[in-house]
Amino acid sequence: MLKGKHILIGISGGIAAYKIPELIRSLVKEGAEVRVTSSRHALEFVTELTLQTVSGHSVYSDVFAAINEHSTEHISLPEWCDAMIVAPATANVLAKTASGIADDALTTTICSCVARKPMIFAPAMNDKMWENPATQQAIRTILGWENVCVLEPAEGLLACGTSGKGRMPEIEELQEALEYALTPKTMAGQRVLITAGGTQEKMDPVRFISNYSTGKMGIALAHACARRGADVSLVCGSVSVPIRNPFGSIRRIDALSAQTMHETCIKLWANTDMAILCAAVADFAPAEIAEEKIKKTAGQTTYTLQLATTPDIARSLGSTKQPGQLLVGFALETQNEKENALLKMERKQMDAIVLNSLRDNGAGFGTDTNRVTILKSDGSVTELPLQSKAVIADGILEAICQN
């Protein structure tokens, strides 16, 4: 997603500046080229040598420095970059930006870049400064400009020792914001339903039957759709990974059991353009749920649990699919993988099915990577090699959205 992209990072004088080398390392790891501009005060919190070492480029911190590659770095850097992120963005820098003040290397660069390239501001300051009417007015002004995003600061322990709203968003959120800014909005206006995670089928008040799904693949798909501008309804079973939602385009709906997930999907389907059924939904559930904890009696060596089939979400959606709606399923197979997946796609009237196998090392439940085969009803087949689930999610969307 960020491979080959040129990212310009602007650092202002806040304590959160010490986190920026971590952001740079993460972006470089993803294949981006990163350059840095900073205020002089920022270099009180993080050294110029550190920033230069992790980015591989000199830092633009002095408008008149003799070492600058160009006499007008504040013009050449915005020309070079694909996007700029200001992190941390202090109250001072936000106020200057809103007023068009350009009196150092950082603010002259911001002034040259704003409204020309995608820009992200990540505020970080004391909660009292965040609540200041002047700060809020500056943010409203900046948000009125094209291609500009101001992230919400997080709540937590602040540098002064108190707790409140003012912490810079975490590095993962900053990277997610950059990916969002740089992704073409090819799914703008589309309503997408995604299921993720494993279902939990209750036996009694303290036990349930489930599987090893963590929800990583479904959540990666939700993030990928949101980056493309879609309005995502993410129906979650049991998930164990965070769902980042910096732009509010993902609506999480919890549905722990197969029955609840089925009911939720049926309600959403009529107003949905695309459904991607990634959740690991139980095929069977206890026929009866005990009202009290099931106890083991003295000498007991076995226990018989009667199971009943659960509602078939894919079949229900496929049978009511309208022209223009797209239905995509997942198949995890352990034998005759392709044949079983094709039969499942045909039987449930899906437009495409994503096949993965427990035979593949590094793929399946709980891993950060996956390897899949995408089979479409038109007969086309797309093989995606072992990659991160975030990259796989992009590949799946590219394959299923092709005409």
Q: Is residue 161 very low, low, confident or very high in pLDDT (cuts 50, 70, 90)?
A: confident
pLDDT reading at 283 higher than 90: yes
Residues taking part in catalysis: 160
Per-residue confidence band for 333, with pLDDT thresholds at 50, 70 and 90: confident
Dihedral sign computed on CA atoms, order 217, 222, 223, 229: positive
DSSP designation for 43:
G
Q: pLDDT digit string (tens) for 24-41?
A: 999 999 999 999 999 999
Q: Which domains does the chain have, with CATH numbers?
A: 6-182 (3.40.50.1950), 191-290+304-400 (3.40.50.10300)
pLDDT of residue 208: 96
pLDDT the model gives residue 66: 52
Residue whose tokens read 């479904």: 218
CA–CA gap between residue 230 and residue 56 (Å, rounded) = 36
159: pLDDT strictly greater than 80: no
Residue 58: φ, ψ to 5°:
-65, 155
pLDDT digits (tens, 9 = 90+) for 103-155: 999 999 999 999 899 999 999 999 999 999 999 999 999 999 999 999 999 88
User: Is there a contact between 39 and 12 (Cβ–Cβ < 8 Å)?
Assistant: yes
Among 7, 16, 11, 8, CA closest to 170: 16
Q: Please state, for a pLDDT cut of 90, what percent of the chain lies above it.
A: 83
* pLDDT computed for residue 97 by the predictor: 97
Question: Contact 373/381 with Cβ under 8 angstroms?
Answer: yes
Please indicate whether residue 237 or residue 361 has the higher confidence score (pLDDT): 237
| Euclidean distance between CA atoms 11 and 260, whole angstroms | 47
366 Rama class: left (phi>0) / alpha (psi -120 to 50) / beta: left
Confidence band, pLDDT 50/70/90 cuts, at residue 222: very high
How far apart are alpha carbons 396 and 373 in whole angstroms?
9
